[in-house]
Chain A
Amino acid sequence: MTASTFITGWNRFFFRKCPPHVLALFRIAFGGFLLFHWGIKLPSVPMLFSEEGIVLPLFDLPLLAPPSTPVAWILFLIFLGSLALLTIGIFPRIAAGVALLFSLYYFLLSFHLFGTSFDHLFLFILLVLTFSPSDRTLSLAMLLKQGSLFAAEPITVFPQRLLALQITFTYLGVGWQKLFLPGWQSGRILLLGFMGRWATPLGFAVARLNLPPEFYDAMVFLTKTFEVLIPFGLWIKRFHIRWWFFAGGALFHSSIALLLGIWWFLVLIPAYILFFEPEGVEKWFKR
C-alpha cells in the first residue's frame, strides 16, 4: 500500500459524504434511551437534584449549590425537553449541546457518586452529536423543510465513525484488560457478582443452584473470549461474521441486565447500527 492509497482510504473511511440514515437512526435510539434513562428519575428530582435531598456536589462552587425544589424541577424539565428535541430531530445540535451541559451539571451535582462508565460514554456521545448533522433524515426538521420524514440530505460519515470507534475502544479496553486483571482469572468473580449489590433475584437464584466452580470458570472464559474478539468482530462483514457479534453483544448485555441489573449498556445494542456502511442502510430504506 502506497502512502497515497492509504491517505485516500483514510479520507474515504473517515470523511466521505454519505447518506444520513445511520446517524439518524442512532440519534432516535440514543435520544429515546436517554429520555427513558432520565425520565424514570422524574419522581426523584427533589431528592436527587434539589436542596430537599442530601446532595453532595463534587466541588464547592456556587453553581453547584443544590437549587430550590421548583428550580430543580424547571431545570430537569428543560433537560428532558432537550432530549425530546434531540430524539425527534429538531434543532438536534442545540438540543444535544444543552443535554450535554445538563448531563455534566447532574454528574457534578449528584451522579459523580455513582461514577460509572456509561455516564462518561453518554457524555462523549452527546458531545459528538452536538457537532453532528443528525437530523438530515427521519426528523421533524426534514418534515418541516422538505415535507417528508424520509427526505434525506448527505452528511459527513465522520461522527458515525467516531461513535463506532469509541464503542470499539470501549470493548477493547473492557475485554483486553480482563486478560490481566487478577479478579478475572477465575470464575469466582461471576459467582460473587450474583451475590452482590447488583445481583437481581434471578442472579441470586443462579447462585443458589450451587453450580460447580468449573461452570463459572467456563462462563468467564467464554465472556473474556467474546469481549476480546468483539472489537474486531463488529467490523468484519465477510461471512456475516459481524452478525454473530451483534447477536452475541445483544445476548451479553441482556444477560448482564437480567442477572446483574446493569441495564444501561443495553443502548449499545441499537448502537451496532453504527457499524453498518451508510450506503447499505440507505439501500435498505429504498427497498
Chain B
Amino acid sequence: MITLFLKQWLLQTILLCYLTITGSALLYTLFHIRTPVPWTLTRFSYTMMAPYQGDTEINEDLVAFGEYADGSTAIIDLDRYIPGGKGERNVRKYLRSFRRTEDDLQVRKYTEFAQLLLERERKKDPHIRAITLNWHVWPRSPHGFDALRQPPHLKATFITRVR
C-alpha cells in the first residue's frame, strides 16, 4: 500500500516537474521570459521546440588552404573530415557551440581545428607547410549553393593560419 502510494506520488511529481519545465521553456520560446526554473532544464526543453527560427540572405562556408614546400597553394577538401549531408557539414563548420556571440568567429577554436587538420594532412603529404582558414560569404542564388561564390559577390575573411 505504501509502495503504491509512493509510486503514485513519484509519478505525479515527475509529471508536475515535466510540465513546469516545459511551461518555462514555452514562455521563453514565445516571449523570452525567463522563469526561476534552472536554465539548463529550460534550455534543453526550449531546444526541442525551437528549430528554424530565421534565415539570412547569404550563404557561408569555411575554406582551408594548404601551403606547400614548392610555394604552391591548394584548397583542402574538408568534406573528408566533416562527413554528413551538405547542410550538416555546413552547420558544423560554424563551430557554433564554441561561439560566444553570433558574429564571434572564435579564432582559438578555429586555430585548434587548423592545427588538427595540418597534422592529418601532413601524414598524407609531408610537403605541406601551413594551413590558412578563411570564412567565405556570398549571396544566395536559385542556381545553386555555390552559384555566386565568386568575385565580385564573394567576400573572404581571414580566420587563422597555422604552420
Q: Do A and B bind each other?
A: yes
- Chain A residues with CB under 8 Å of chain B are 14-15, 41, 43-44, 47-48, 52-54, 56, 58, 112-118, 120-121, 124, 156, 158, 162, 165-166, 169-170, 172-174, 176-177, 180-184, 189, 192-199, 204, 207-208, 210, 260-262
B74 at the interface (CB under 8 A from A): no
Contact assessment for A54 and B49 in the assembled complex, using a CB-CB cutoff below 8 Å: no
B144 contacts A by Cβ under 8 Å: yes
Q: How far is the CA of A14 from the CA of B90 in the complex (A)?
A: 42
B residues sitting closer than 8 Å to A (CB atoms) are 8, 11, 15, 18, 22, 25-26, 29-30, 44-57, 59, 80-88, 90-92, 94-98, 109, 112-113, 116-117, 120, 140-145
Asked whether A174 and B87 contact (CB < 8 A) given A169-B26, A195-B142, the answer is no
CB contacts (< 8 Å) of A124 on chain B: these are 44, 48
Question: How many angstroms between the C-alpha atoms of A173 and B45 in the bound complex?
Answer: 10
Given A112-B97, A162-B18, A176-B30: A54 and B116 within 8 A (CB)? yes
With A183-B55, A261-B85 known as contacts, the answer to whether A113 contacts B49 (CB < 8 A) is no
Q: Within the assembled complex, what's the spacing in Å between the Cα atoms of A219 and B117?
A: 43
Between A and B, 22 residue pairs with Cβ closer than 8 Å are: A41-B83, A47-B81, A47-B83, A56-B113, A114-B84, A115-B97, A116-B51, A121-B48, A124-B44, A124-B48, A165-B18, A169-B45, A173-B25, A174-B50, A189-B55, A192-B57, A193-B52, A193-B55, A196-B59, A204-B143, A204-B144, A204-B145
With most chain A CB atoms within 10 A of its CB, the pick from B18, B50, B52, B59 is B52
A121: chain B residues at CB < 8 Å are 48
| Partner pick for B84 among A44, A165, A169, A172, CB 8 A cutoff | A44
Q: How far is B45's CA from A207's CA once the two chains are assembled, in angstroms?
A: 34
Give the 7 A-B CB pairs with smallest separation, nearest first.
A173-B49, A183-B54, A207-B142, A44-B83, A195-B140, A117-B51, A197-B90
Q: Tell me which residues across on chain B come within 8 A of A182, comparing CB atoms.
A: 54
Q: Which of B26, B87, B95, B117 contacts A197 (CB 8 A)?
A: B87
Known: A54-B120, A162-B15, A169-B22. 10 other contacts (CB 8 A): A47-B83, A54-B116, A56-B109, A112-B97, A113-B92, A170-B48, A177-B30, A177-B50, A195-B145, A198-B87
